[in-house]
């Protein structure tokens, strides 16, 4: 691609244009062409060539034709070039603009690459150098470059903030903070987030600057919509800053054509953004404030520009105007003919805002509700009057109202604050107060009060305020009542569990699951078992509980009631609910262990309830039931007492096989209880297999096999016994 | 389309769009407009259809004249919201002003009605500025009739010429080594302000948005 030196700049550009045409028709050429042009855009290259190449890069990376994986790979190649161009202090603006645009597109791609390739430190270093250079020139470069820096910062914020929950998966090219693993060696999510947050503050700082650069403000406003939409966690912060921004602030200076374009543009841009946000998400918590802001802006805009733009006046409204309409327009509603204006002082006592501003003495006029008129009409009338009104009269009216207000204020301190009136928006957002008042003159404030007046009479005055009302506390429950209510609740939960029975297919929840968060049967079981085992432990200091448990059974009885209910619930259908029994007993066991940590002599539940459940199950077992084996192998701890019960099963000859299988399973699979399990097997051997004449022929050799394997002396004993045996029962074969 | 023609004739690269849901042309009565789909219907086919339908009516109300002009400018109407910004436009070579639009983007968007400006800005917010490319969006409010359209076309061309002049001046500043360069974008409010003085009857809105 490198053009021969002999070619003129124009000829080289023509060649490059051909190359561009090629990639436009087939994006597969991008890698080759980009690699080809990189050598020609060093710092010393002709500015025409650099402009062309930088523009080409910006275009290529923005192209919807190029797949994002390919952009990711190409992004790594161009970083060096971007860095060297950015670091040239005398670089051309047009080149810089394209370079920063390219960097804005590349940044999330490189971040993604780094996530997946944590070893690639050098690339990340280059990206960091590009980023820090852009952030450094952000404040000082030419406006055209600065707007691109704003967009770059917006992309960084977008990439380094988490998205909504759950994050929408669109095309895989989206980058957000949640993709960064916690333990990444190069990029710690916490640092990225902090940087993003700082950059957002810097972006929003423009709305608080004293000198307003319209182009930058517009570029910022128009880049914020995506952040508000896709990053709900920072949306409120952004919106609050915008809602405190007054794009008409500049309107106080003398209006030059340029200034008018600037003010109108910022106002319209702000309004469009807010309208867009409310349209996209009408349910957002700030929608009310946004609506108010938009309406207020439209009014102020009309006031400022229609006043300045005399050709749009509507004198016809003056002539046909009902005198009643003038009355509600407050202090200004006087004809120019009257040169002495009398504002009657207010009678003592509470007054509405409407009364404060009503200066007519005609009672009929006072009753006219200006809210019946359309807002447009009121605005037009107001403007026309303001244009014609003698300023002397207006000042008299204002003074009159001011006098009224002051006297009202002195009699009713704190009841009515003028300062909060026009900004009667969410009070909880008041940590930032813009210099809204200084930006407007008295006339504008009055106008605003005027137009808002229809809403004001609804604001309750002092006579409407209610005293403090506190709901009386309910009578305290007796312990019996509390237990009964607790029992009712438990019954209800079991009722719910019945309806939720038969969980469908189980989904694998993975490592990050949270117990009891799905509201299915399992979740309720978790809740109910923990309520039984831990509720008392959670409410008071552990040592205190234990004492209480020992002394007074009342607080315990709820827990025990739940245990009873659980027990009944399991036994109702123990084959299907054995998992519940295991889950519950696990909780009991765990709780016992925890209790034991705090108390030297804790009240233990596990052993008691294991036995109880087992006793409940044993009578109903069938010779082929696997449930016993499962139960014994899954419960967290086994005692000799438990095995004693299992042994007891062998009294029924048909159950010997089942008991033995379960015990032998424990011998094989649970080494910690192997010894006691073997003891039990040996006992069974001695007590039942040798003495009882029973039909199942498999049991004996099976038991003998295991005992021989695990109990060294057994083989000899069996031999001795075997001789006797052969006499009575010719079929037994010792292993 | 008048502005498209004027700008293209002055050798500016131009793409033109509508923002409505369909193309609507006047029909026999106000409640019976002729409705066509954007992007799929050529001006030529509209012309032929209406010619056959009622040549007299559509010649009298100017629709045929309009379509005849438009079919000389480009193949058919495109819809803004369907535009894939940045998708190469290599096949539209018969459209006037197509030279220079191959990359599928523009630097300035002109609208001729306030609601079109609103629709464009709303759409750009919706797209989210993924291309990171700044674009000036300017509305010049033109009343939709033949006479006003002519005047409006001249006004837009005037504004485009002012932009072009400023752009060239700024680009040359680098060559002269001047460091006092604020760039083109900073001058836009002033250029529009001066232009507004020359065209006081045309209301204007402007912002800097993102593709």
Query: What is the domain partition of chain A in residue ranges?
Result: 12-18+31-156, 313-424+436-462, 478-502+514-620, 638-735
Spell out the residues 6+ positions from residue A5 whose beta carbon is closer than 8 angstroms to its own.
Answer: none
Q: What per-residue confidence (pLDDT) applies to A442?
A: 55
pLDDT given for residue A168 in this prediction: 61
The helix/strand/coil state of B138 is strand
- CB pair distance less than 8 Å for B125 and A152: no
Residue A402 predicted with pLDDT over 80: yes
* Cα angle A174-A178-A180, degrees, rounded to a multiple of 5: 95
Range in A22-36, A189-203, A586-600 with the lowest mean pLDDT? A586-600
pLDDT of residue A475: 82
Q: Give the closest residue to A91 by CA, choosing from A24, A159, A148, A11.
A: A148
- In this predicted structure, the answer to whether residue A111 has a pLDDT above a threshold of 90 is yes
Q: Which domain holds residue B146?
A: 2-17+80-210
Q: How many domains does chain B contain in total?
A: 2
CB proximity A220 to B under 8 Å? no
Using an 8 Å CB-CB cutoff, list chain B residues near A268: 205, 207
Q: For residue B204, give the chain A residue with the closest CA.
A: A261
Contacts of A42 (CB under 8 A, 6+ apart): A84
Domain boundary pick from B78, B93, B111: B78
pLDDT-based confidence at A400, cuts 50/70/90?
confident
**Distance, CA of A195 to CA of A181 (rounded, Å):** 17
**Tokens 């917010």 belong to which residue?**
B125
Range with the poorest average pLDDT among A394-398, A461-465, A560-564: A461-465
For residue B140, the domain's CATH number is 3.40.50.2300
Same domain, B118 and B200: yes
Nearest partner of A59 among A76, A40, A74, judged by Cα: A74
Say yes or no for a CB contact (<8 Å) between B208 and A219.
Answer: yes
pLDDT of residue A536: 66
For residue B34, CA distances in Å to A568, B20, B45, B78 come to 76, 14, 13, 17
The pLDDT value given to residue A326? 38
Most confident of A162-176, A402-416, A449-463, A696-710: A696-710
Q: Are residues B118 and B96 in the same domain?
A: yes
Nearest-neighbour CA in chain B from A58: distance (Å):
8
Whether the CB-CB separation of A121 and A75 falls below 8 Å is answered with no
**Which residue in this structure is represented by tokens 């957000």?**
A176
Higher pLDDT, A197 or A457: A197
Q: Are residues B190 and B203 located together in one domain of the fold?
A: yes
Q: Which of B36, B52, B78 is the last residue of a domain?
A: B78
Within 10 angstroms of residue A127's Cβ, the number of other Cβ atoms is 24
Flag if B170 and A258 touch (Cβ within 8 Å): no
**A666 Cβ neighbours under 8 A, 6+ residues apart:** A632, A633, A638, A673, A674, A677
Contact A649, A671 (CB under 8 A): no
pLDDT digits (tens, 9 = 90+) for B21-60: 999 999 888 888 999 999 999 999 999 999 999 999 999 9
Summarize the confidence of residues A177-192 as an average pLDDT.
Answer: 90
On the CB side of A363, CA atoms within 13 Å amount to 0
Top-ranked range on mean pLDDT: pick from A77-86, A161-170, A298-307: A77-86
- Residue the block writes with tokens 């060239």: B168
Give the CATH number of domain A12-18+31-156: 1.25.10.10
- Distance (Å, rounded) from C-alpha A291 to C-alpha A304? 20
- B/e letters for A195-221, b = 16+ CB within 10 Å, e = fewer, are bbbebbebbbebbeeeebbbbbbbbbb
A278: nearest CA partner in chain B: B122
A570 or A324, which is more confident: A570
Which of A25, A264, A280 has its CB closest to that of B90? A25
Nearest-Å Rg of the Cα atoms of chain A is: 42
Instruction: Give B83's contacts in chain A (Cβ within 8 Å).
Output: none
Mean pLDDT rounded to a whole number for chain A:
77
Map residue A314 onto helix, strand or coil.
coil
Q: Give the three-class secondary structure for A504.
A: coil
Residues B13 and B61 in one domain: no
Q: Are residues B194 and B135 located together in one domain of the fold?
A: yes
Q: Looking at the complex, does the CB of residue B171 fall below 8 Å from at least one CB of chain A? A: yes
pLDDT at A510: 57
Q: Does residue B162 share a domain with residue B185?
A: yes
Q: At what angle do helices B184-198 and A143-159 cross, to 10 degrees?
A: 120
A653 falls in which pLDDT band (50, 70, 90)?
confident
Q: pLDDT by residue (tens digit) across B83-136?
A: 999 999 998 888 999 999 999 999 999 999 999 999 999 999 999 999 999 999
Residues of chain A in contact with residue B182, where contact means CB-CB under 8 angstroms, are 142-143
Question: Does the pLDDT value for residue A602 go beyond 80?
Answer: no
Other C-beta atoms closer than 10 Å to the C-beta of A27 total: 17
At A546 the pLDDT is 45
Facing residue for B88 by CB, picked from A25, A92, A221: A25
Query: A225-234, A420-429, B160-169: lowest mean pLDDT where?
Result: A420-429
Q: Are strands B108-111 and B134-140 parallel, antiparallel or unpaired?
A: parallel
DSSP string, A76-136: HHHHHHHHHHHT-TT--HHHHHHHHHHHHHHHHHHHHHHHH-TT-HHHHHHHHHHHHHHHH
Task: Specify whether B86 is located in the same domain as B149.
Answer: yes
Query: Are residues B200 and B168 located together in one domain of the fold?
Result: yes
Say what the pLDDT of residue A314 is. Answer: 39
| Residue A407 vs residue A697, higher pLDDT | A407
Count how many Cα atoms sit within 13 Å of the Cα of residue A299 in the half-sphere of its side chain: 22
Q: What are phi and psi of B208, to 5 degrees?
A: -105, 115
- Do B56 and B97 share a domain, yes or no? no
What is the number of other CB atoms lying within 10 angstroms of the CB of residue A565? 17
pLDDT tens digits, residue range A378-395? 888 888 888 777 777 888
Q: What is the mean pLDDT of residues A536-563?
A: 54
| Shared domain check, B73 and B102 | no
Select the highest-mean-pLDDT range: A226-235, A534-543, A663-672. A226-235
More confident residue, A332 or A440: A440
pLDDT value at residue A732 = 40
Tokens matching residue A591: 């709780």
Same domain? For B157 and B204 the reply is: yes
Q: How far apart are CA A604 and CA A377, in angstroms?
A: 81
Pairwise CB contact (< 8 Å): B124 & A226: no
> Complex ipTM above 0.85?
yes
At A472-510, the pLDDT tens digits run 888 888 877 887 888 888 888 888 777 776 555 455 555
B109 phi/psi in degrees, rounded to 5: -115, 125
DSSP A340-390: S---PPPPSS---HHHHH-----HHHHT--GGGS-HHHHHHHHHHHHHHS-
Distances in Å between the Cα of B156 and the Cα atoms of A138, B106, B159, B203 are 33, 15, 5, 12
**Pair (B59, B110) in one structural domain:** no
| pLDDT band for position A597 (cuts 50, 70, 90) | confident
């Amino acid at each position: 691609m490198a053009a021969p030196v002999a070619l003129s700049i124009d000829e080289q550009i023509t060649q490059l244009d051909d190359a561009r045409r090629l990639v436009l028709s087939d994006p597969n050429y991008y890698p080759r062409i980009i690699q080809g042009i990189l050598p020609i855009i060093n710092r010393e290259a002709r500015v025409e060539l650099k402009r062309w190449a930088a523009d080409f890069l910006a275009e290529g990376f923005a192209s919807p034709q190029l797949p994002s994986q390919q952009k990711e790979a190409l992004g790594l190649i161009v970083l060096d070039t971007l860095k060297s161009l950015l670091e040239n202090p005398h670089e051309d603006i047009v080149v810089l603009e394209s370079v920063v645009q390219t960097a804005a597109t590349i940044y999330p791609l490189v971040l993604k690459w780094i996530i997946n390739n944590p070893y690639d430190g050098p690339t990340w270093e280059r990206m960091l150098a590009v980023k820090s250079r852009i952030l450094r020139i952000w404040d000082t470069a030419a406006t055209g470059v600065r707007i691109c820096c704003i967009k770059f910062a917006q992309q960084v914020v977008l990439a380094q903030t988490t998205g909504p929950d759950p994050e929408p998966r669109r095309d895989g090219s989206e980058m957000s903070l949640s993709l960064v693993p916690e333990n990444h060696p190069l990029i710690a999510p916490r640092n990225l987030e902090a940087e993003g947050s700082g950059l957002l503050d810097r972006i929003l700082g423009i709305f608080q600057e004293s000198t307003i650069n319209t182009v930058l403000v517009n570029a910022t406003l128009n880049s914020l919509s995506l952040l508000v939409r896709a990053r709900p966690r920072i949306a409120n912060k952004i919106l609050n800053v915008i809602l405190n921004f007054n794009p008409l602030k500049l309107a106080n200076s003398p209006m030059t054509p340029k200034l008018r374009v600037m003010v109108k543009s910022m106002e319209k841009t702000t309004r469009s953004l807010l309208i867009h946000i409310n349209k996209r998400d009408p349910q957002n918590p700030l929608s009310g404030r946004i609506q108010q802001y938009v309406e207020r802006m439209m009014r102020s805009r009309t006031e400022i520009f229609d006043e300045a733009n005399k050709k749009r006046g509507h004198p016809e409204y003056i002539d046909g105007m009902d005198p009643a309409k003038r009355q509600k327009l407050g202090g200004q509603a006087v004809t120019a003919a009257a040169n002495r204006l009398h504002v009657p002082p207010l009678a003592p006592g509470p007054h509405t805002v409407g009364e404060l501003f009503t200066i007519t003495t005609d009672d009929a006029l006072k009753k006219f509700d200006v809210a019946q008129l359309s807002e447009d009409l009121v605005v037009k009338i107001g403007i026309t009057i303001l244009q014609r009104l003698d300023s002397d009269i207006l000042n008299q009216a204002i003074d009159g109202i001011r006098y009224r207000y002051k006297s009202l204020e002195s009699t009713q301190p704190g009841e009515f604050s003028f300062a909060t009136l026009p900004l009667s928006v969410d009070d909880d957002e008041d940590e930032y107060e813009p210099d809204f008042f200084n930006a407007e003159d008295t006339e504008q404030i009055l106008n605003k009060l005027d137009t808002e007046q229809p809403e004001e009479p609804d604001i309750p005055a002092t006579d409407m305020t209610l005293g403090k009302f506190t709901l009386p506390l309910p009578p305290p429950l007796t312990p019996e009542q509390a237990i009964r209510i607790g029992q009712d609740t438990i019954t209800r939960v079991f009722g719910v569990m019945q309806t939720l029975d038969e969980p469908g297919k189980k989904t694998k929840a993975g490592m990050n699951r949270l117990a009891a968060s799905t509201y299915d049967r399992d979740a309720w079981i978790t809740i109910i078992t923990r309520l039984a085992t831990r509720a008392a432990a959670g409410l008071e200091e552990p040592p205190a509980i234990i004492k209480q448990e020992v002394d007074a059974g009342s607080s315990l009885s709820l827990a025990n009631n739940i245990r009873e209910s659980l027990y009944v619930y399991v036994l109702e259908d123990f084959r299907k609910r054995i998992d519940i029994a295991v889950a519950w007993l696990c909780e009991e066991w765990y709780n016992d262990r925890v209790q034991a940590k705090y108390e030297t002599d804790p009240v233990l539940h596990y052993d008691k309830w294991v036995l109880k459940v087992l006793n409940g199950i044993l009578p109903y077992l069938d010779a082929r039931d696997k449930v016993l084996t499962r139960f014994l192998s899954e419960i967290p701890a086994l005692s000799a007492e438990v095995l004693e019960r299992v042994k007891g099963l062998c009294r029924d000859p048909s159950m010997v096989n089942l008991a033995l299988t379960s015990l032998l399973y424990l011998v094989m699979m649970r080494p910690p209880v192997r010894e006691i399990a073997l003891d039990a097997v040996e006992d069974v051997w001695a007590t039942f297999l040798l003495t009882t004449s029973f039909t199942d022929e498999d049991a004996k050799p099976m038991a003998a096999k295991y005992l021989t394997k695990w109990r060294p002396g057994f083989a000899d004993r069996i031999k001795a016994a075997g001789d006797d045996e052969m006499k009575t029962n010719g079929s037994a074969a010792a292993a | 389309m008048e502005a498209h023609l004027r700008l293209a004739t002055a050798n500016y690269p131009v793409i033109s769009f509508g923002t409505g849901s369909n193309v609507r042309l006047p029909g026999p009565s106000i409640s019976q407009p002729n409705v066509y789909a954007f992007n799929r219907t050529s001006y030529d086919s509209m012309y032929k259809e209406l010619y056959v339908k009622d040549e007299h009516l559509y010649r009298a109300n100017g629709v045929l004249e309009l379509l005849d002009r438009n079919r000389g400018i480009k193949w058919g109407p495109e819809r803004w919201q369907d535009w894939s910004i940045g998708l190469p436009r290599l096949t539209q070579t018969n459209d006037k002003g197509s030279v220079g639009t191959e990359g599928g983007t523009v630097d300035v968007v002109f609208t001729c009605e306030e609601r079109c400006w609103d629709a464009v800005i709303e759409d750009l917010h919706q797209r989210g500025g993924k291309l990171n490319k700044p674009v000036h969006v300017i509305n010049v409010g033109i009343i939709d009739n033949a006479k006003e359209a002519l005047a409006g076309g001249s006004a837009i061309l005037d504004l485009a010429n002012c932009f072009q002049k400023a752009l060239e001046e700024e680009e040359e500043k680098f060559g002269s080594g001047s460091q006092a360069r604020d760039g083109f974008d900073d001058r836009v409010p002033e250029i529009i302000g001066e232009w507004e003085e020359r065209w006081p009857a045309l209301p204007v809105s402007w912002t800097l948005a993102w593709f």
